Homo-oligomer: A and B are copies of this chain.
Amino acid sequence: MSNPRSSPVRLKDIARDLNVSVMTVSKVVRGCADVGAETRRRVLARIKELNYQPNWVARSLAAGRTFIIGLIVPDLMHSFFAEIAKGVSATIQPMGYDVVICNSEENGGVEASEIDRLLGRQVDGLILASAQPPSSTEVFERIAARGVPLVLIDRRFAGVPAPYVGVDDEAIGRLATLHLIERGCRRIAHIAGPPLTPGVGRLKGYQDALAAAGISVPGSYIVRAADDASGYQAARRLLELQPRPDAIFGYNDPTAAGAMKAILEAGIDIPGQMKVIGVGNVHYSDLLRVPLSTIDQSSAAIGQHAAETLVKVISSKRKRPARSIIIEPVLIARESTAATAGHRAA
C-alpha cells in the first residue's frame, strides 16, 4: 500500500507511466471537461493507484492563488473568537479554502506583523477582528495596496472601505439595559469595555436606553474593564458607591461573570438584591454561580457570514464594495436577572 519514505508522486510521474502529457493529467486532476473519456479513466485509475496528491505550493505559484485565507483575532482563548474561527473554517473549507488562524494578543503591532506574514504567504483574502487603535488605518492601506480582499469583523473602523460583519452594538446596549429596566432596576451600572466599537457602541446603547426611560445615573456608575479579572475589580468599586447600584450590565460575559463573583463574595444576593447581565452567551454562562443572563451575538453566524462575504469579494472581478452585514442581538434571560418580588436593594 504505502512504500515507506517514497518521494511524493508528481503529475510528471503519472504522465510518463501513461504516455500522455503532463497537461492532460493536470486537466483530469482539475476536472476540466476537455479530456477524452478513456484517457480520463486511465489517468484517474493511476492517480488512485499511486495516491497522488497535488502539490499546492507549486499549484499556488503557477496559478497565482493559494486558496488560503487568513483570519486574525485578538484572542483565541476567548470563546467568542474561537467560535467565529470555527464558523469561518466550517463555511469556507467546503468552498476549497484553508484558513490560517492568527492571534494578535490584542496588540496592534503583533497584528501588523501577522498581516505581513500572511500577505507574504500570498493569502487570497483576510478576515480581521482588528486590534488597531481606532483611528489608525495604516495596516488597512497596506492590505488594500496589495489588492487583497478584506472583511472586518467585530470591530468597525471608520473610513476603511472594507465590508464589515458584526452585531449591532448599540442595539446590544439598549436591549440589555431595557431588560434591566423592565425588571424594575433603576440604578443601573455599566462595566464598559475597551474604547473600540463594541465597547463604545454598547455604552451608547446603555446611555440611550436610560435616557429614553428618563433614568439618570451618576457618572461613577460607569467603570471600565475587559475580562473576568478586571470585571471583578470593577464590580468591587461599584459596590462601594452610595447609593449602591441595583444592576450591572457587563460589557461581555467574562466581565459580568467576574462582577458576579465580587457581588456574591460581598454577600449580596443575585438576582434578589442585584441583577447582572452580560454579552456573548459564552458556553459556560449556564454553569456559573448564578446562571448569567446575556445577549447572544451569534458568533458562529458572524464567522459564517464573514467567510461568505470574503469569498464573494474574492470571486468578483470588479470592485463590488460588498455590503456589510449587521446581525441583530437576542436576549437570553437566565436567573441572574430573574424577576424578584419587590426587588429591594440596600
Contacts and interface: CB of A to CB of B under 8 A. Distances in A.
A45 B264 CA distance: 61
Interface residues of A, number: 54
B56 A58 contact: no
A241 interface: no
A89 B72 CA distance: 13
A99 B3 CA distance: 28
A329 B159 CA distance: 50
Copies in the complex: 2
A79 B260 CA distance: 21
A61 interface: yes
B82 A77 contact: yes
Contacts of A66: 57
Nearest to A58: B61
Interface in A241-297: 257-258, 260-261, 283-284, 286-290
A6 interface: yes
A82 B81 CA distance: 11
A218 B48 CA distance: 53
A260 B286 CA distance: 12
Contacts of A141: 2
A89 B77 contact: no
Contact of A257 (B4, B116, B287): B287
A103 B120 contact: no
A100 B98 CA distance: 9
Contact of A261 (B144, B283, B287): B287
Contacts of A146: 8
Contacts of A286: 261
Contact of A82 (B76, B121, B142): B76
A111 interface: no
| Shortest 3 CB-CB contacts between residues of A and residues of B | A2-B145, A289-B289, A257-B287
10 contacts: A56-B120, A76-B82, A86-B103, A89-B102, A101-B101, A228-B284, A257-B287, A261-B287, A284-B287, A289-B290
Interface of A: 2-6, 8, 53-58, 60-61, 66, 68, 76-77, 79, 82-83, 85-86, 89, 98-103, 116-117, 119-122, 141-142, 144-147, 228, 257-258, 260-261, 283-284, 286-290
